[in-house]
């Protein structure tokens, strides 16, 4: 991916796993590559002349073997797995937020 693009995002999790993606979801083969002729590519202005030091995340893993169609199919399958559990996760988060708000309201009333 073009890490110098304004729309490139990277997140490093405590496990050490790094997620690299286009925040506009325009890179169907993320995290390996962006479209060569991406209509929304914009060079990030904040670091145009910067030299990145050792805090830059490690290089991305090697691109999987196979043609572009196989890679796209693999990524679509992964996205469908995430999409299938998303409603359940959102329900759990919403329930937890409601419980948290309710307990903080009760705590304030007692005090």
The reported pTM is: 0.45
> Which ranges constitute the DSSP H helices of the chain?
68-110
43 strand-pairing partners = 5
Do residues 27 and 35 touch, judged by C-beta distance below 8 A?
Answer: yes
Report mean pLDDT in 10-residue bins for the chain, 111 residues.
83 83 83 83 73 62 74 85 91 88 62 51
What pLDDT does residue 91 have? 92
Cα 79 to chain centroid, rounded: 12
């Amino acid at each position: 991916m073009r890490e110098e693009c304004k729309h490139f995002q990277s997140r490093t999790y405590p496990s050490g796993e790094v997620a690299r993606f286009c925040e506009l979801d325009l890179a169907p083969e993320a995290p390996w590559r962006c479209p060569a002729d991406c209509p929304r590519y914009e060079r990030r202005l904040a670091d145009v002349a910067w030299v990145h030091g050792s805090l830059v995340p490690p290089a991305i893993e090697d691109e999987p073997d196979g043609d572009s169609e196989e890679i796209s199919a693999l990524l679509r399958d992964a996205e469908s797995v995430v999409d299938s559990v998303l409603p359940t996760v959102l329900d759990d988060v919403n329930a937890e937020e409601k419980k948290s708000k309710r307990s903080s309201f009760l705590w304030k009333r007692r005090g």
